[in-house]
Amino acid sequence: MNLAQIRELLTQKGAYKATNKDLIRDWLAQDCASLFDTGLTLMPKKVFYKHVAPCKAIPDGDVFRKVTKKELENASFNFIHILNKLVYKNSYKREKFNKRLSVVMTIEGEKSCKDLHSHFAIGKPETVDLIEFKRLVLKAVEMSGDFFVFDPNFEFEKHNLDKKYRYKLDLIDRDWLYYITKELDRKDLHNLYLP
């Protein structure tokens, strides 16, 4: 069923005039919820660059900046590529088998003026148990090099152990699909990716 058919069906049932965002959120949470069983949030590392002062009155220094949306998109797609390679090995590489994880990705933080970060809904393969999948996700995060594994400012005495990690992998339900799509545009859906 495509977007126009979903909209027509909702209109016939007397539903409100739905936007693309509403239709996609409902479709993901109702029709596609069974495809996804794990949710993942990744925080990107800040990018380092050397600051060279324009004059001698201002000292040179080392500066970190936030990643741009395009850089985060590329890093997120690279992470999914690495995770697919770890899970499916040669079956992912060969066109004959064409095995891939079911993934929905969104980038959040642009509208809410927070640090940009990525949310994923991932369908864990039935052939891989949850503990092994968690290990593969951690390995993919480490191999990509673009995302934090540990919080660099974590102090064990002040926080509980859950705050030590900067990525989070959990089992999810359909509410996660609503949550990760909350910052989508009403019409364009430019923060939604299906890698």
Q: What is the pLDDT of residue 167?
A: 75
On the question of pLDDT at 93 being above 90, the answer is no
Give the side-chain half-sphere CA count within 13 A for 42: 29
Res 136 pLDDT > 70: yes
**What residue numbers bound the domain in which 187 lies?**
37-193
Res 68: pLDDT: 84
Q: What is the pLDDT of residues 74-91, one digit of tens each?
A: 999 999 999 989 998 877
User: What per-residue confidence (pLDDT) applies to 62?
Assistant: 60
pLDDT tens digit sequence for 35-88: 888 998 888 887 665 555 555 555 555 666 778 889 889 999 999 999 989 998
Rg (CA), the chain: 20
Within a domain: 167: yes
Which pTM was predicted?
0.75
120 lies in a domain?
A: yes
**Residue 148: what pLDDT?**
78
Would 25 be classed as within a structural domain? no
Whether 77 is in a domain gets the answer yes
pLDDT of 175 > 70? The answer is yes
pLDDT band at 135 (very low <50, low <70, confident <90, very high): very high
4 occurs within a structural domain: no
Q: Is 14 part of any domain?
A: no
- Please name the helix (run of DSSP H) or strand (run of DSSP E) that holds residue 169, with its range, or none: strand 167-171
Angle at 26 between CA 20 and CA 103, to 5 degrees: 90
Confidence of residue 170 (pLDDT cuts 50, 70, 90): confident
Exposure string (b/e) for 87-114, b if CB count within 10 Å is 16 or more? bbeeebeeeeeeebbebbbbbbbeeeee
Whether 23 is in a domain gets the answer: no
Q: What is the mean pLDDT of the chain?
A: 76
**Number of structural domains in the chain:** 1
Inside any domain, residue 148: yes
For residue range 148-158, list pLDDT tens digits in order. 777 666 555 55
